[in-house]
Each structure stands twice: as structure tokens, then as C-alpha cells.
Amino acid sequence: MLMTATQALTGPDVAYLVPEILLVGAAIVLTVLDLLLPNTVRRGWISWLTLASLAGAAAAVIGQFAMFNPFDGDAEVVSLLSDSYRIDGFALVMKLVILTASMLILLMGIRTIERDDAIPDKGETFTMMLPAVTGALVLCSTADLITMFVGLELLGISTYVMIGFRKKSSLASEAAFKYIVIGAVSSAIILFGMSYLYGVTGSTNLGWIAWALEQAAADYQALVYVALFFIVAGFAVKIAAVPFHAWAPDVYQGAATPVTAFLAVVSKAAAFIALVRVIFNTAVIQTPFILGPGVSPVGEDVLLALKVLAAAAMIVGTTAALRQKNVKRLLALSGVANAGYLLVPLAIGIGSTSTNNLGDFAFYLVAYLFMTIGAFAVMAVVGRAAGHDELKGYAGLYYRAPWTAAGMVVLLVSLAGLPVTGGFFGKLFILLSAVQMKDYWLAAIMVVTSVISYYFYFSIIRQMFMRTAETEAKLSVPAPTGIVAWICVVATLALGFLPNAFMDMFEQAVTLSRDIWIAVPK
């Protein structure tokens, strides 16, 4: 048995927890305020205060870039409570991604939730987002299985509530119930896998696990398989990868559109970020002379399982979306396919000349963030005007709101992976890495499913530009939602024309050996 050296939390360490503490504090204060204030007081300002606290957390994360400068190759990673909490380059960049997404979703939700008659308590829906985001931030920063589980549950339980807040809609209640059951089962599966991993390695710290796993795999091979496969399966539910995706369309459809966007982007991203830490400390580990991924044969098989998951997600996600007439469900299935694309960099492992997995992953994640949130923003406006989320609600959008329709084209083209957009380069980078690792079949599936996806993404375009609307009335776009849509469009194009801006920043800030592989005192 290994003993993890205990490490207490000191005063200065608290400075590194400012973003999380800020969010938790704001959540408590705002919830209490919402509770105490009489019903006559309008709740609109709570949403703005929530946004402000998210912005504050983002500012704090940016401040941490100064405290731990990830661009400096010699900077030492800040490790709190024996790597329960790490401030490293990967964590900081991913926290910014999560916070950006959350702010955009909140901004887009301000008017949408206010106008949603099915939600009686507007204030709570916003404040509930704060613990959810805190959970996501914890997942960015942790390299310890227990803390990771706490983060997952914090995120999960808050989102169950967020879906359920749409109390007057039976679809939402169904969605919330389904999500609770599925979420609880997946958490249980992850926890079960984690317990085995602890059992065979004697530690919950990913660094120690990576160190001890080789021996453990030799001694208890079957148990290591059980541990890792269960963890992967549990995460596959959270990221909605096939065959663990069936909940996604129902849950997405039932939830209020901003909450759907939160599930599609923040929840998915956070689960992916945690999965990156797990995979890159178990299946892919640092070996003295790196010739390929470590821990064979277990690691190889875990990667193979991830590849199969990725392929299945891409194929099933796109083919199931072909017949979908409800845009929300369509985006849910598109999210399944995108989970497949995002899984590829995790699944292909590293090679003697190809170690760009995290850059590929992060780039596509950011592109996915903008194009998906943008699409949901447009959907919130169109769905509100039409009273439903069916495809025909988009008919003639070009006549009713030409600029919104044009922006939506950019987002859809990016989702389809066509140039010149972030979605194109995201897929291109993943494709290049897959080919460098000689995973030709995975690359072929990626490309072919992208082409199939043209059909349903362009079916929305067809509705917008080639059909006539029932009404000629101009569509009114609330300012915050419109701003979000346009931020997303501009960002999608910027990622397409200047993909190097983000990629260079990321490659300088994040390295596998410093940020992901955890040095353990041997």
C-alpha cells in the first residue's frame, strides 16, 4: 500500500481558490436574497448579479495566470491538498473556457428565461447555475478521484435542479427525472470503477495511480480492466457518447433552451476535462522513453474502447439526426456526434512525433462551445417566436430576420465542419493527428460522418432560405441573446481565419509533462 503524503491547506493557498469561493459565496448570498425579498420585487437583477459573479470568477482566473504563469516553461505547478487541487496551465485555460461558456449561456438566458412561462421562479434558475459552474471548475483543477467525484456530483445535482425548474412543463419534469436517474447511475458506475482503481493502486491521487498501475496491471489485470472500463463507461454517459446517449434528446428537449445549452456545452466539457486527466494518467502515461502509450496491454485496450466509443458516437449521432425534425433533439444528437469527435484526440494516444492531443482537443472544444451556444441562442429566439422547436419554425427566417439567418449559416457551416470556420480547423487538426497515429479507419469515419451531417445541418439552412414563412412579421431578437449569437458567430469565424491565435496560446500554456502527468515524490 502506498501512503499519500498529507498536506494541509495553508492561508496563502486560499488565494488560489478565489474563483470557486467567489462563486459559492455568490450562490449563497443570491439564494438567500431571492428567498427573503418579497414577491413584488422583480428578479431580473439576480441574473445580472449572477453574471457579475461569473465575470468576477473569470477575472480571478485571469489573475491566477499572473500568480502561476503557465507560459513560463519553468513555472512550478501549484498543488493544494496533495494534488486534490491543482493550479496548472491546463486547469487555468479550461476554467476560462468553462467560464466563458457559462457567461455566454447566462447572457443568452436572461431574456429567454424571463419570458418562459413554464418557469415560475426565475431567480433560482440563475443562482443554481453558480454551484454547477463551481463543480465544473473543480473538475478542471483536480487530480484526485475523490475531489473529482465531488465536482461531478456538484455539477450534476445542480443541473438536475436547473432542468426541473421549468415546473409547469411536463416535458421538463420528465427530462429532469430521466436525467436524475441516468446521472445517478452513471455516477455510481464511475464511483464503482474508482473504488477498484483505489483498490489495486492504493491511492486516489492520479499521479500515484499512474505510478502504481503498471505493477497493478501485472498483478490484478482483470481488476484494472474493470476499474478503467467502468470509469470510461460512466464518463461516456456524462458526455453522451454512444451507446450511453439515449437520454440526451429527451433531456435536451425538456429543458429550457439556456439550460440545454448549459448541458450541451458546460456539463459535457467539464466531464471531458476530467476524463482527459484520467485517461492521460492511466491509459497514456509518461514512460522514460516514450515510444507509444504506456500500460500495455490494459492502456491499449482502454484506448481501443475509446476509439470504438468515438466511432459509435459519430456514426449513431449523425445517422439518428438525419430523421430528426425537432431542432433541439437534432442539436442533442449533433452533440453526441461532436462528443465522438472530441473523443478522438483522447483515444489515439501519443506517438513518437504526434503529441498534440490536448491542443486538438482544446481547439475543437472551444470551436464547439461557440458554434453550439450560438446555435442555441438563435434557437431560443426562433423557438420563442414559433412557440415550438420544430424544424418548420425556421421556415423563411431569412425574410423575417436576415442577419440572424446569415449568422446561423456561419454556425451551421461550422458545425458541419466546412471552411472557413472554427469547426473546420478543429476537425482538421484532429484528423491530422489521427492520421499521424495511423488510425486511418477513425479518420475515415470522422470525414464520412461529417459529410452525412451536411444533410441535417443544411436542412435548417434550407428552411431558413428556401421555404416561405407563415408570417412575414419581423422577428424580434432580444439584445442580450442577439449579442451572444453574434459573439459566437464572430468567434467561430475568427477561429477559422486565425486558428493559430488560440492554438499557439494553448501550446505554450499547456504541456503534458508539467500539467497533466503528475510528478510524485518516489
- 389-418 residues in contact with other proteins (CB under 8 A) are 398, 413, 418
Tell me if residue 79 falls in helix, strand or coil. Answer: strand
The mark string for 456-495 relative to other proteins (x by CB under 8 A, - otherwise) is: --x--xx--xx-----------------------------
Q: Is 170 in the site for other proteins (CB under 8 A)?
A: no
Q: Is 432 in the site for other proteins (CB under 8 A)?
A: yes
Q: How far is the CB of 37 from other proteins (least distance, A)?
A: 49
Interface residue with other proteins among 444, 483, 490, 494 (CB under 8 A) is 444
Q: Is 173 in the site for other proteins (CB under 8 A)?
A: no
Report the distance separating Cα 284 and Cα 516, nearest Å: 10
Interface residue with other proteins among 206, 212, 503, 520 (CB under 8 A) is 503
Q: Is 441 in the site for other proteins (CB under 8 A)?
A: no
Q: Is 90 in the site for other proteins (CB under 8 A)?
A: no
Determine how β-strand 85-87 pairs with β-strand 78-80.
antiparallel
Q: How far is the CB of 418 from other proteins (least distance, A)?
A: 5
Sign of CA dihedral 405, 503, 92, 436: positive
Q: Is 499 in the site for other proteins (CB under 8 A)?
A: yes
Helix axes 357-386, 402-415, angle to 10 degrees: 150
Q: How far is the CB of 69 from other proteins (least distance, A)?
A: 18
Question: Residue 35 or 448: which CB sits closer to other proteins?
Answer: 448
Q: Are 97 and 369 in contact (CB under 8 A)?
A: yes
Question: Residue 118 or 452: which CB sits closer to other proteins?
Answer: 452
Q: Which residues, listed in sequence order, are joined to residue 87 by a DSSP beta bridge?
A: 78
Report the distance separating Cα 193 and Cα 352, nearest Å: 30
Question: Residue 41 or 498: which CB sits closer to other proteins?
Answer: 498
Q: How far is CA 23 from the centre of its chain?
A: 19
Q: Are 215 and 202 in contact (CB under 8 A)?
A: no
* Residue 78, phi then psi, degrees to nearest 5: -85, 125
Cβ atoms within 10 Å, residue 387: 8
Interface residue with other proteins among 11, 353, 472, 522 (CB under 8 A) is 353
Q: Is 512 in the site for other proteins (CB under 8 A)?
A: yes
Residues in contact with other proteins by CB under 8 A are: 290, 350-359, 398, 413, 418-420, 428-429, 431-432, 435-436, 443-444, 447-448, 450-452, 454-455, 458, 461-462, 465-466, 498-500, 503-504, 507-508, 510-513
